[in-house]
Chains A and B, each alone.
Chain A
Amino acid sequence: MSNTERNAERCAGIEDKLVEYLDGRAKPAERRAVEEHLTACSSCRNRAEEFRHLWSALDDLPVISPSPAFDASLRARIAAEPARRGFWSWLPSPRLAFAVTALVAMSVWMASIPRVTINEKAMTGVPVEADFSMIRDLPVLENYDVLSKFDALSELQAPPNGSPTQEGTKEIR
């Protein structure tokens, strides 16, 4: 590669950094690289100088003021904007909207839980009242002395019709 080509390559490498360098925003390493090149390259040095003159000239562009009616016209356009209403706008606050949503969701969930009924009769085959009477009579049934006398009672003659008591019959307690 000739010197001219090498210089052209270095100039091309500086181009993207030149603007940043001239407006004082280049990083230190980049600033040093540009300054080194400008010291050695008159063409880029001239270009940098002309860029500075150009920026001064660009400052001569006058600043125009908005017309006196600008603000009033803008306010009229804003006033003409339709009011936007969202889906939940009828609720006074987002918190209330969230609470209502949570309540509805919980109600739906609870309604979907299947009811479990216990069929006690199906489980045991014995009425509940019968169970209770069995338990109530349990002390008598466990008394074997009493139970052994039941056979003797069966040999007794049946009392005549209408008699309230029978001779020899004892009330077993």
Chain B
Amino acid sequence: MLDVKAGDEQSFELLLRKYRTPLVNFLYRMVRDSAVAEDLAQEVFLRVYRARKEYAPSAKFTTWMFRIATNLALNSVRDNRHRQKEISMDHVVDAGDDEHPAMEVPDRTPTVEQQMVARSRSEVILRAVHALPEKQRAAVLLHKYQELDYDEIARILECSESALKSLLFRAYETLRAELAPLVNSVGV
């Protein structure tokens, strides 16, 4: 990143190649929309590029980058939730002979059998991760998939290390309960 600060465009290309896949995956698992995830990932790189002259290596580059990504993801999730609330559930769309509600809210408590039959294993896991509160979700994704240190994750989520460990325990405890049939039945 210091080379990027000095104006080396090739170094920026190297950063792009190294971090675009982990970044897109982190954002996809946060927002569950691949188009939005890519848009947010581009926004992260754009902000990194804009701030390159002022970059100071007081923290790891990954800490800085994932902090930008987490903030953008949390804002996106909250904006999306706010927008969904504004759509009336009774609004009826006229589609020729058929009339049907514009938005059908799925039952958020599917049975275990429905989970295992209707969706693939990965989709079930993704749905369970996405059902976590945003901060717990971000903590799990940064801990499990990015394998960042506790102090890095704490800085990204702007909390203490002890608060982070508590957050992680609660998140894994929730996932353990949600995915127990899946995990136990497959005998992993």
Residues of chain A at the chain B interface (Cβ within 8 Å): 15-20, 23, 25, 47, 50-51, 53-58, 60-67, 70-71, 73-74, 77-78, 81
**Are B46 and A54 in contact, CB atoms less than 8 angstroms apart?**
no
Chain A proximity of B143: nearest CB distance (Å): 8
CB interface residues, B 1-51, toward A, < 8 Å: 16, 20-21, 24-25, 28-29, 34, 38, 41-42, 45-46, 49-50
**Are A17 and B21 in contact, CB atoms less than 8 angstroms apart?**
no
Bound-state Cα–Cα, A63 to B21, Å: 8
Bound-state Cα–Cα, A55 to B173, Å: 12
6 contacts between A and B (CB under 8 A): A54-B176, A57-B179, A57-B186, A61-B145, A66-B20, A70-B24
- Smallest CB gap from B17: residue in A: A71
Known A-B contacts A19-B165, A61-B122, A70-B42; A51 and B176 likewise in contact (beta carbons under 8 Å): yes
Q: Report chain B residues within 8 Å CB of A78.
A: 46, 49
Q: Name, among A23, A61, A81, the residue most crowded by chain B CB atoms within 10 Å (CB to CB).
A: A61
**Are A60 and B162 in contact, CB atoms less than 8 angstroms apart?**
no
Bound-state Cα–Cα, A58 to B125, Å: 7
* Per-residue A-contact encoding for B151-173, CB less than 8 Å = 1, 0 else: 00000000000100110110011
Chain B proximity of A45: nearest CB distance (Å): 14
Mostly, the B contact residues are helix
**Are A74 and B16 in contact, CB atoms less than 8 angstroms apart?**
yes
Q: Report chain B residues within 8 Å CB of A71.
A: 16, 20
**Are B125 and A17 in contact, CB atoms less than 8 angstroms apart?**
no
**Are B34 and A64 in contact, CB atoms less than 8 angstroms apart?**
yes
**Are B150 and A25 in contact, CB atoms less than 8 angstroms apart?**
yes
**Are B169 and A64 in contact, CB atoms less than 8 angstroms apart?**
no
Chain A proximity of B60: nearest CB distance (Å): 16
Bound-state Cα–Cα, A16 to B20, Å: 32
Chain B proximity of A98: nearest CB distance (Å): 18
Q: Report chain B residues within 8 Å CB of A77.
A: 42, 46
**Are B122 and A60 in contact, CB atoms less than 8 angstroms apart?**
yes
Chain B proximity of A86: nearest CB distance (Å): 10
Chain A proximity of B140: nearest CB distance (Å): 8
- Smallest CB gap from B42: residue in A: A74
Which residue of B42, B122, B168, B169 contacts A73 across the interface (Cβ within 8 Å)?
Answer: B42
Given A54-B183, A63-B21, 11 new contacts (CB under 8 A): A16-B166, A53-B183, A53-B184, A57-B121, A57-B183, A63-B25, A66-B21, A66-B38, A70-B24, A73-B42, A81-B46
Q: Report chain B residues within 8 Å CB of A25.
A: 149-150
**Are B122 and A50 in contact, CB atoms less than 8 angstroms apart?**
no
- The answer, yes or no, to whether B102 is at the interface (CB within 8 Å) is no
Bound-state Cα–Cα, A16 to B164, Å: 9
- The answer, yes or no, to whether B105 is at the interface (CB within 8 Å) is no
- Smallest CB gap from A67: residue in B: B38
**Are B176 and A50 in contact, CB atoms less than 8 angstroms apart?**
yes
Bound-state Cα–Cα, A53 to B183, Å: 7
- Smallest CB gap from A80: residue in B: B46
Known A-B contacts A16-B165, A65-B21; A56 and B188 likewise in contact (beta carbons under 8 Å): yes
- The answer, yes or no, to whether B144 is at the interface (CB within 8 Å) is yes
Bound-state Cα–Cα, A12 to B184, Å: 25
Bound-state Cα–Cα, A62 to B180, Å: 20
